[in-house]
Structure formats: C-alpha cells, structure tokens
Amino acid sequence: MMRLRWLVLFALSVVLPPGVVLAAYPGVNGKLLYIDRSGDPGVDLVVVDNDGRNATVLNGGLYQEITRASWSPDGSRIAFTGYPVGSPQQEGRLYVTDQAGGSIQEIDIAPARNAELPTWSPDGTRIAFSGLDDDSGGSEHAIFAIDLDGTGLVRISPPSEDFFYFSLAWSPRGDTLLFAGLSNPPCVQPPCSGSDADAEIYLLGVGTGVITRLTTNTVLEETASWSPDGGRIVFDRITQTDPSCRIIVMDLTTGQETDVSQNQSPKRCFSKPAWSPDGSLIAYVTSTTVNNTAMRVFLEGATGNGKKQVTDGPLDFWPDWQPLQP
C-alpha cells in the first residue's frame, strides 16, 4: 500500500506576490450553491441565482449523504464530498462536477479516506479536504491536498495535531487554510481550559504546517469563510443554551470582532456564513420559525445591514458563492 508522508512543500502553498490574488478573488457575485437535506432518500446539491430564482438540482437524489460542496475559483466546477445511495461503505468520497451537474468525476484519495470539507486552491489546480489518515491506522483526522487527476496527495496538517474538523477554506493568496476544529481528544476537565471543549477557529500554514489559534472561548464556532481580500474572516458563534447564534467578522490584523447579526432577530440562530466574491454580502443559514426547524439561506450586507431570503427550505445548508470574473 502506498504510504503517505507528511510533506512541507513551499510549492504547495501557491503563494502569490503581495497584493496579487488569483481567479475571482475579488470577483463578481455569481450563483449560490447549497445542500438540500430534505430529500428522500437522498441529499441534493442545488444551484440558484443569488436573488432566489432559477433553482436547479444537480444530482437528483443520487447521494445518500453530501457533507459539503464548494465552487472552483473560476466558477466553472464544483467539488463535493459524500457517498451514493445504497453505498455499502458509508464514507465520504471526493467528487468534481461541472456547474450543471452533467459530468461527475470521483477523485481517488487513497490512502486517505472519508473525505469531507473540500476547498479549492486559488489557482484551481488542487483541492484540500479533511479525512482519515490510513497510515495512522485510520484513526487520525488530518487535512490533505490533492491534484484534480488524483496525483500528488500530501498531508498538510502535521502528525502531532489531530482535530475533528467542521469547516475548511483555502485563503485567497493560497498560503493558509482556515478551519474550525475541535481538538481530538477534546479537553473536557481540569487542568484543561473550558475553551478546549468546543470547536475554535484556526489558521494552518500550507507550506509550514504551523497552526495558529484565533479564538478562545467556551462556545462552538463551526463554519468560517474568508473575505475576498484575505484580510478578514467571518464565522458563526453557537452557544449550547442560547438560540441566538451569531455571525462574527474578525479583522486578522487587529483581532477585532464585529457581530454583524446584531441587527437581526434576537431569537434566531444564524450560522454557516459564506462571504461573497465582491465582498459586499454574506450568505448564511437561519430559520424562519421560532424553534429553528425550517432552515433557509439568507443574504445580508457584510456590515450587518439588510436581510434577504434566497431559498424556501425546509432544510437548506452550507451556501457557497460562485465567483465570476470581473
């Protein structure tokens, strides 16, 4: 069996000169992609205009599970992870499809397995994802990157670190991965701090393996996304007792946090944010019912102004923006 080594590769970082970004970072806002979990028996990928019109189901219930999906930087393809209906081995596989869902390619990720959270490098040549490392006996969670033809698989996260990963996003400059994760095993009693029992936000150097922790608290932070210029991030902050989950923007230079959901309903859970390619909007998921059971995709201004419903639910999750060239 091929053995997977942890490599520190400068070339893997796709580092760009200062002030230069690739593809559509920033770009023009295209369609929205989201996961519809209301199907029976399958889960659907849906593409919709960002004004809520012309919704198109890409896979028609072919997949029992789809854990996450993301647009390529040029807006022509979609990477997603999941497994087909009736699959005897219910572990995540990595797929790439065109924006119409007409051609689906599975990428062989062995010896990694159970792929989740696909995210594209900014030049569109590689996909990073979380999975299990068979070289560690299949018990260690890790972040990997692979070429689109299934070659060049490397582990990016260092062997000394093991997290349960909740979200993953490649930076516009290509040198950093942003992730929400829970340390494994979680630290749940003294002398561990209470913040170690919940998922936090981290940066991972693609070429160095260096992990930098950005948040320290006792609440769950599950989904994080980059601003188009890479200077800020947006993430959700979910408490276990208060239904008022919030959306937070953090300036990476100053560390200052801004609650951009503060002007919205105080008893709604706002989660799973995604920053638009032009930087003006944030897509997110919230409920139109008091008990947070009907989940739909909404848009609001990146500074917290305005609110617009895009999807009708009832179980719509994890929006992602199609970037288009200016």
Q: What CATH number corresponds to the domain at position 290?
A: 2.120.10.30
Question: Among 50, 86, 3, which Cα is nearest to 276's?
Answer: 50
Classify residue 1: in a domain, yes or no.
no
Classify residue 98: in a domain, yes or no.
yes
Question: Rounded to 5 degrees, what are φ and ψ at 307?
Answer: -160, 130
Which range (17-31, 39-53, 198-212, 238-252) has the least confidence?
A: 17-31
Classify residue 9: in a domain, yes or no.
no
Mean pLDDT to the nearest integer, 202-216 = 94
Give the count of domains, the chain: 1
Classify residue 87: in a domain, yes or no.
yes
Classify residue 251: in a domain, yes or no.
yes
Classify residue 306: in a domain, yes or no.
yes
Of all residues in the chain, the percent with pLDDT exceeding 70 is 81
What tokens appear for 211 in the block? 């992990």
pLDDT at 7 over 70: no
CB 111 within 8 A of CB 3: yes
Task: Write the DSSP string, 82-124.
Answer: EEETT-SS---EEEEEETTS--EEEEP-TTEEEEEEEEE-TTS
Classify residue 5: in a domain, yes or no.
no
Q: Domain of 241?
A: 26-324
pLDDT for res 19: 41
pLDDT for res 159: 85
Alpha-carbon torsion, ordered 306, 311, 317, 318, to 10 deg: -60
71-105: pLDDT as tens digits? 999 999 999 999 888 887 778 999 999 987 778 99
pLDDT at 247 over 70: yes
21: how many CB neighbours lie within 10 A of its CB?
19
Classify residue 94: in a domain, yes or no.
yes
Identify the residue with better confidence: 263 or 323: 323
Q: Using CB atoms within 10 A of its CB, is residue 115 exposed (0-12), middle (13-18) or buried (19+)?
A: buried
Mean pLDDT to the nearest integer, 61-65 = 85
